[in-house]
Amino acid sequence: MATSSKMLYMDPTPKKREDFEDILDERRHSSDLRYAMRCYTPVVYRGLTTCIPSALKSAVLKSEHVQYVIHKLSKETGESSEIIQEEAAEILDEMGHNLHMSVIRFFVFTLSKIFKKLFSKVCVNEEGIQRLHQAVQDYPVVLLPSHRSYIDFLMLSYILYAYDLPLPVIAAGMDFMGMKMVGEMLRMSGAFFIRRTFGGNKLYWAVFSEYVKTVLRNGYAPLEFFVEGTRSRTCKSLTPKLGLLNIVIEPFLKGEVFDVFLVPISISYERILEESLYAHELLGVPKPKESTSGLLKARMILSEHYGSIHVFFGQPISLRTLAAGRVNRIHYNLVPRHIPQKSGDDVHHFVNEVAYKVLLFQLENMVFSPWTLIATVLLQSLPSIELPVLTEKVLWLKRLVQSFGGFVDWPDNCPADKVIASSLAIHHTTAKTCNGYVTLPVQHKDYGINEEYIFRYAVHVLMCASYRNHLLNLFVRPALVLFAMESTKSHKKEEIYNYFVFLRDLFSDEFIFPAGTAIKDFEEGCFLLGKCEAVEMLQQDIFFTDNGSSITLFLTAMFQPFLEGYLTYCNYLTLEASEPFTEKQFITGVRQFTFQLLLTGYLKFYEVLSSDMQKNAMAALVRQGSLHKLKMSNGITYQVDREAVSRTADMLGSKVPVRKHFVPRL
Amino acid sequence: FILAQHGSMASRSLVQDHAQRRLQVISGHLQKVGVSDQHVLSVNQCRGEPAFPDDNRTDTVPKHRQEVLKWNGWGYNDSKFMFNKKGQAEFTGKRYRLSGMVLPALREWMEKTFGASLDHKSVSRPSLNTSDIPPPVLNEGFLQSIKATDIPFSHDAEDRLFRAHGHCLHEIFTLREGRFDRIPDLVVWPHCHDDVVKIVELACKHDTCLIPFGGGTSVSNALECPADETRTIVSLDTSQMNRILWIDEKNLTAHVEAGINGQNLEKQLAESGYCTGHEPDSMEFSTLGGWVATRASGMKKNVYGNIEDLVVHMRVVTPRGVVEKSCQGPRMSTGPDIHHFIMGSEGTLGVVTEVTVKIRPVPEYQKYGSVVFPSFEQGVACLREVARQRCAPASIRLMDNEQFQFGHALKPQVASIFTSFLDGLKKFYITKFKGFDPNRLCVATLLFEGDREKVLHHEKQVYDIASKFGGLAAGEDNGQRGYMLTFVIAYLRDLGLDYYVIGESFETSVPWDRVLDLCRNVKERLVRECKERGVQFPPLSTCRVTQTYDSGACVYFYFAFNYRGIGDPILVCHQIEAAAREEILAIGGSLSHHHGVGKLRKRWLRECISDTGIGMLKSVKEYVDPNNIFGNRNLL
């Protein structure tokens, strides 16, 4: 089995890492103003039909698709089609971008100033840029960056300008519109705004989807959006939102374009601007509304230093290649293409698959800073760790990450303690060094053990956790295999696999697992464990090895908070929840419950307070049938199936065996 | 009695006037047809009154076709492209307008387009090697019975080989340098309907396989003999059934034997002042029966209709018996039209022996024309508008930019400085003054027919529409050359084959709204597939819109590439064509507009006409031909 799994799972390490170039370097040596005013002549799509933003809008409005929907709505509602047409025009005005070169130049100038102040380096993989250069000319391109910060799309446009690539049209959330001037500025730099929810509004959907498709079909500009839909507050990838992707693949499926390139882009921050904001949000301090004054306040905080950024432009993925043999395009032959059509199951599955593929490519090309390693070690060593021990463990982890195929941005020719010291300096608000010990900057002697202390401590734990989360995707498969081995107390591969599948399903909102790849994930996990000699693989059995205990301990400790969290929520549901409840009520209730457990010391994982984990657990329990979703007039409420919940809890606590899965030839 | 059929002598001379023009029409593309056809039909035993006495005819196709036609390429032995001693391309022979001319630009075009070189030749075997021919499997019973009739037959290797193939690339390639696994064992030449009835009866009695053969111009692999056929395969060559049996001027119909080929049919009808107007690109060789069997389409279908519009009546000999209708009513509501079981049956049900077709007086006036558009998109928009207004001329075709440039490569050496000066002026006007991009513009060719006044009026109407889409009239010459190319382009493939360039053409029909997307995607797919399969030089990938309909158009593709360095070029070419077909189907194009399914496109038929549809066809086959006598295995 060891050999067979080796054959099935390709070893990721031999892959050559691409070189990065720091684009700020040149900015530090020449005039920003001249740079902003320089001649900018981007390469363009060879099939481009040039048009100005207003022409784009009128093309959308006049399109057969939008006109069809307008007339249909007019017939259904009795409203005159002129009025609906007017409405559509308003939607377009609210939505449409209005790219202005002068604004771009203004942004280039100011961002040059700001970025130089905030960041030490902005590193871009040149090969990726060259690939993009070619791709942009060949077919319509969709840029799909990871989303960890507001900076993402500013940064991306900034980079594209630097390399004479066309500036993208960016799908942005409506919330930015609230920021007076800034909203308009963003619009003029190529953003178009979409409402976060428009369920059921057919006119909005028609106008919006036609807008996106027109951009694509004409090769007007690269389209950019975030597959995750919103910024991830935890630095884990969010499960993909499929709406925009569905729209994007339609022109290809209907033959209106020959191909579309999807370009996954991984943006890795050494320190995220919103780190503390996110931690507060996760603990239930409401998200401040985007406002210009808020941004200015943020500007004050910007006197801080945020280290380096790595932007990796991935291999452009040909949608045509992905779809070959997966989707039958003949489906679209019998209805005029402008008439909206429900897509078949094959299309649904395909879009889902594409979305997960993009996310996994993003994750694969993330760059890990030394701090992600430090934060990971620190979290496992709380309340404090001696600096030399930390250094030793970080170096150990670095080797492990590298052997698992991860890319660590570790400076060459620099002693380890220096690297760690400078990393700690950048993150001085998250952790501090005190008498040779590294610890969180919140001491219970300052507060006593009370709710405020718990809250403040949790903020810092969540900040650390968000950096540790960078590493989760790299380790989650082997870790779940280890949990399965421990929980089943078995060495039979089949039993271990069964439990693995149970965990994988349960945590499929927490981590990125594409549908239908359970066996592949299991084999990958086993392979990596075998490779680092944490386990020994036989034909039908897996055994722990004697000298693999450090890895086993490390990996289980890394994922322990998630298991404990889900167990805690199950307990809350069986013991305390009063039904029916809304999501909000659940979150408040379970937070209170968790606070108590933390206060009394029954629970030591502060991450369990994270609303993200709570929401994910809810979704998982709904999927498992332990929670029932009820659509009421006043929104969605939930009802608990206590028996099912405690069954899940028992399985998670390995008190009862999990349901058997059919295992085809492991 | 014959004259009575044609009316008075006076009107006859008028008719002959038209006929004269009509002949010019045809010799517009085909000069001196039939000159070398010395082979005169042997004594005809069949009854039936032909419209013309036999001894007047010098224009039949000989039984040994190889005496006139190439055995390993397209068309007449005397006509081919070649490079002369100066390294300039030349078209030999005297038949076509291009014959005997030097084409100075062709060489550079071939070098530039394909990276071909005169130094790298890939020559065909010079002559047939009879030892490469599988020996005939002869059914003695059938042979004796045929001998007992007076139907001519042959099991000569050359005769058999000639009927073993159509004109797909791989078939020609096999002739040039490969060998066929299975070819017909026996060729028979029936002279009339009754002969065919006899042959089919004998075939049923002795359980042999019959494959009808008309002009041999199939490009769907329809003539390929199934390799695993163990019975004697008899090729039923209809070429000697080529008489016009009568002409009915009151109803404007002619009753014709199905083996007549297009050019002879038109020529003979023209003698009476009539035409069918059915002009598929293969009309020099393809036959009436072949058109019926494949659902053929003619260039001038806008005036005359496609074959299904032209046929009034047909006689078909099947193993189950003869099928025909009892009257010649112009339209009937008598259940599903049995003609439609036959049209497109591709030789799987029986042999079409006689057809009554509609005829029209030869048009008084004919005029070519052409329009240049700044882009293919605008050209298509114009064609769509012309179709919407239902004012399409007899023929309207739109070539894309690659084909436009190819057309230039086939320009003969200019006769005078003045012409070339004029050409220069035109080019200057279009590209510089009007701002057309020479790498984007495309050209539509037009053919108007009718009485003079109407033609001129019609012409104006079409040019007015064209101008709305940015089109500029570009003269009659360009138009005429466009149509002439249709006939010589098939010869060009043989030249390519001599220099490591192979190619294929294929067609489809598609709704108007998808025309542009289909053209772009299929051309792109061809390029991408070539690249992925290791073709070193970008291929020629080009298309033209050749027919317009109320609800869509017919699109014709050519692709060709330099195959040096490729192990199995024919396989690669096949795979590329199949990929292009997948692309066509995926975007809403049909499996075929007029080439048919044959064996080449069989694998897609089910998804195109549904399981039930296949079942319907199967059940007809089962009833009509339960023992699969007509065993070419096309379609199903």
What's the pLDDT tens digit per position in A296-342? 566 556 678 899 999 999 999 999 999 998 999 988 999 999 999 88
> Is it the case that residue A183 has pLDDT exceeding 90?
no
Q: Which helix (H) or strand (E) holds B257?
A: strand B253-257
Helical residues (DSSP H) of A305-448, grouped into ranges: 319-323, 345-364, 370-380, 387-403, 416-426, 444-447
The C-alpha atoms of residue B164 and residue B184 are separated, in whole angstroms, by 6
Say yes or no for a CB contact (<8 Å) between A330 and B521. no
Say yes or no for a CB contact (<8 Å) between A332 and B588. yes
A-chain CB neighbours of B510 within 8 Å are none
Which whole number is the average pLDDT over A90-118?
A: 88
Q: Between residues 489 and 548 of chain B, which touch chain A (CB distance below 8 Å)?
A: 513-514, 517-518, 520-521, 524-525
Say yes or no for a CB contact (<8 Å) between B607 and A330. yes
- The C-alpha of B523 sits at a distance from chain A's nearest C-alpha, in angstroms, of 10
- The C-alpha of B518 sits at a distance from chain A's nearest C-alpha, in angstroms, of 7
pLDDT bracket for residue B25 (50, 70, 90): low
Q: Is B453 on the interface with A (CB under 8 A)?
A: no
pLDDT bracket for residue B459 (50, 70, 90): very high
The C-alpha atoms of residue B369 and residue B353 are separated, in whole angstroms, by 38
- The C-alpha of B505 sits at a distance from chain A's nearest C-alpha, in angstroms, of 21
Show the tokens assigned to B263. Answer: 């050019």
Determine the angle formed by the axes of helices A472-488 and A493-506, rounding to 10 degrees: 130
Q: Which of B483, B556, B558, B563 is catalytic?
A: B556
- Determine the pLDDT at residue B19: 55
pLDDT bracket for residue A176 (50, 70, 90): low
> Is it the case that residue A9 has pLDDT exceeding 80?
no
Cis check: omega of the bond before A383, within 30 degrees of 0? yes
In a mutational test of the B interface, the residue from A318, A329, A335 whose CB has the highest number of chain B CBs within 10 Å is A329
CA torsion A272→A273→A275→A278, rounded to 10°? -120
pLDDT in tens, A398-418: 999 999 999 999 988 889 999
pLDDT bracket for residue A580 (50, 70, 90): confident
- Determine the pLDDT at residue A16: 60
The C-alpha atoms of residue B308 and residue B314 are separated, in whole angstroms, by 11
pLDDT bracket for residue B1 (50, 70, 90): very low
- Determine the pLDDT at residue A616: 95
What are the C-alpha distances in Å from B323 to residues A67, B205, B357, B575? 52, 19, 17, 39
Whether residue B165 contacts residue B216, with contact meaning beta carbons closer than 8 Å, is answered with yes
Whole-number mean pLDDT of chain A?
A: 88
- Determine the pLDDT at residue B197: 97
B-chain CB neighbours of A337 within 8 Å are 513-514
- The C-alpha of A256 sits at a distance from chain B's nearest C-alpha, in angstroms, of 6
pLDDT in tens, B526-564: 999 999 999 999 999 999 999 999 999 999 999 999 999
Which chain A residues have any C-beta within 8 angstroms of a chain B C-beta?
Answer: 47, 254-256, 258-259, 329-330, 332-333, 336-337
Q: Which residue is closest to B585 within chain A, CA to CA?
A: A330
The percent of residues above 90 in pLDDT, for chain A, comes to 60
Q: How far apart are the first and last CA of chain B?
A: 47
What are the C-alpha distances in Å from B495 to residues B84, B126, B488? 12, 15, 11
- Determine the pLDDT at residue B32: 40
B-chain CB neighbours of A327 within 8 Å are none
> Is it the case that residue B56 has pLDDT exceeding 70?
no
What are the C-alpha distances in Å from A301 to residues A150, A294, A425, A640, B299? 15, 11, 16, 44, 76
Helix (H, G, I), strand (E, B) or coil at B567: coil
Which of A259, A330, A336 is closest, CB to CB, to B585?
A330
Given the structure tokens 């799908």, which residue do they identify?
A: A171
The C-alpha atoms of residue A17 and residue A28 are separated, in whole angstroms, by 26
Say yes or no for a CB contact (<8 Å) between A258 and B585. no
- The C-alpha of A308 sits at a distance from chain B's nearest C-alpha, in angstroms, of 40
Which of A258, A259, A333 is closest, CB to CB, to B588?
A333
Q: Evaluate the CA torsion angle A498, A502, A505, A509 in order and state its sign.
A: negative
- Determine the pLDDT at residue A575: 87
The C-alpha atoms of residue A208 and residue A225 are separated, in whole angstroms, by 14
Say yes or no for a CB contact (<8 Å) between B586 and A330. yes
What are the C-alpha distances in Å from B134 to residues A392, B160, B164, B226, B495? 81, 10, 11, 14, 28
> Is it the case that residue B424 has pLDDT exceeding 80?
no
pLDDT in tens, B464-509: 999 999 999 988 888 888 888 888 888 999 999 999 999 999 999 9
- The C-alpha of B551 sits at a distance from chain A's nearest C-alpha, in angstroms, of 12
- The three-state DSSP-derived secondary structure of B415-444 is CCHHHHHHHHHHHHHHHHHCCCCCCCCEEE
- Determine the pLDDT at residue A186: 80
Say yes or no for a CB contact (<8 Å) between B521 and A255. yes
pLDDT in tens, B270-303: 999 999 999 999 999 999 999 999 999 999 999 9
Which of A47, A255, A259 is closest, CB to CB, to B587?
A255
pLDDT in tens, A558-569: 999 999 999 999
Which of A258, A330, A336 is closest, CB to CB, to B520?
A258
In a mutational test of the A interface, the residue from B375, B376, B524 whose CB has the highest number of chain A CBs within 10 Å is B524
The C-alpha atoms of residue A629 and residue A613 are separated, in whole angstroms, by 18
Q: Which residue is closest to A255 within chain B, CA to CA?
A: B587
Amino acid identity at B632: N
Say yes or no for a CB contact (<8 Å) between B587 and A258. no
Q: Which residue is closest to B587 within chain A, CA to CA?
A: A255
Lowest mean pLDDT across A337-341, A349-353, B22-26, B74-78:
B22-26
Which whole number is the average pLDDT over B170-184?
A: 94
- Determine the pLDDT at residue B365: 95
A-chain CB neighbours of B605 within 8 Å are none
Say yes or no for a CB contact (<8 Å) between A330 and B524. no
Whether residue B507 contacts residue B594, with contact meaning beta carbons closer than 8 Å, is answered with yes
The C-alpha atoms of residue A594 and residue A296 are separated, in whole angstroms, by 35
Question: Is B429 among the residues known to form the active site?
Answer: no
In a mutational test of the A interface, the residue from B517, B585, B591, B606 whose CB has the highest number of chain A CBs within 10 Å is B517
How far, rounded to the nearest angstrom, does the alpha carbon of residue A218 sit from its chain's CA centroid? 29
What are the C-alpha distances in Å from A329 to residues A24, A256, B368, B524? 46, 12, 40, 17
Angle of CA points B494, B500, B502, to nearest 5°: 55
> Is it the case that residue A584 has pLDDT exceeding 70?
yes
The percent of residues above 90 in pLDDT, for chain B, comes to 78
A-chain CB neighbours of B579 within 8 Å are none
Say yes or no for a CB contact (<8 Å) between B514 and A255. yes
Q: Which residue is closest to B516 within chain A, CA to CA?
A: A256
Half-sphere exposure of B142 (CA within 13 A, CB side): 27
Tell which residue, A502, A617, A641, has the closest CA to residue A561: A617
Amino acid identity at A256: E
- The C-alpha of B583 sits at a distance from chain A's nearest C-alpha, in angstroms, of 9
B-chain CB neighbours of A333 within 8 Å are 587-588
pLDDT bracket for residue B237 (50, 70, 90): very high
Say yes or no for a CB contact (<8 Å) between A258 and B513. no
Angle of CA points A77, A82, A85, to nearest 5°: 85
Q: Which residue is closest to B532 within chain A, CA to CA?
A: A321
Q: What is the ipTM for the molecules in this complex? A: 0.86
Say yes or no for a CB contact (<8 Å) between A255 and B518. yes
B391-394, Cβ contacts within 8 angstroms, sequence gap of 24 or more:
B391/B458, B391/B461, B391/B462, B391/B465, B392/B302, B392/B548, B393/B302, B393/B369, B393/B446, B393/B447, B393/B448, B393/B449, B393/B458, B393/B459, B393/B462, B394/B277, B394/B299, B394/B300, B394/B302, B394/B303, B394/B304, B394/B447, B394/B448, B394/B449
- Determine the pLDDT at residue B542: 96
Which of B517, B585, B586 is closest, CB to CB, to A256?
B517
CA torsion B427→B430→B435→B438, rounded to 10°? -50
Q: Which residue is closest to B527 within chain A, CA to CA?
A: A258
Show the tokens assigned to B387. Answer: 């179709």
pLDDT bracket for residue B22 (50, 70, 90): low
Task: Give the number of A-B residue pairs with CB atoms closer than 8 Å.
Answer: 27
What are the C-alpha distances in Å from A137 to residues A260, A367, A598? 11, 28, 57
Q: How far apart are the first and last CA of chain A?
A: 8
Tell which residue, B286, B440, B252, B460, has the closest CA to residue B362: B252
Whether residue B523 contacts residue B542, with contact meaning beta carbons closer than 8 Å, is answered with yes
- The C-alpha of B28 sits at a distance from chain A's nearest C-alpha, in angstroms, of 39
Which whole number is the average pLDDT over A212-220?
A: 91
The C-alpha atoms of residue A534 and residue A546 are separated, in whole angstroms, by 8
The percent of residues above 70 in pLDDT, for chain B, comes to 88
Say yes or no for a CB contact (<8 Å) between B513 and A337. yes
The C-alpha atoms of residue B187 and residue B472 are separated, in whole angstroms, by 53
> Is it the case that residue B206 has pLDDT exceeding 80?
yes
pLDDT bracket for residue B596 (50, 70, 90): very high
pLDDT bracket for residue A6 (50, 70, 90): very low
Q: Is B607 on the interface with A (CB under 8 A)?
A: yes
Say yes or no for a CB contact (<8 Å) between B524 and A255. no
Whether residue A566 contacts residue A617, with contact meaning beta carbons closer than 8 Å, is answered with yes
Q: Evaluate the CA torsion angle A348, A352, A357, A362 in order and state its sign.
A: positive
The percent of residues above 70 in pLDDT, for chain A, comes to 92
pLDDT bracket for residue A230 (50, 70, 90): confident
- Determine the pLDDT at residue B418: 58
A-chain CB neighbours of B587 within 8 Å are 254-255, 329, 333
pLDDT bracket for residue A576 (50, 70, 90): confident
> Is it the case that residue A662 has pLDDT exceeding 90?
no
> Is it the case that residue A516 has pLDDT exceeding 60?
yes
Residue A21, strand partner residues: A124
pLDDT in tens, A43-84: 888 877 777 888 889 999 999 999 999 999 999 999 899 999
- The C-alpha of A128 sits at a distance from chain B's nearest C-alpha, in angstroms, of 22
pLDDT bracket for residue A97 (50, 70, 90): confident
A-chain CB neighbours of B524 within 8 Å are 258-259
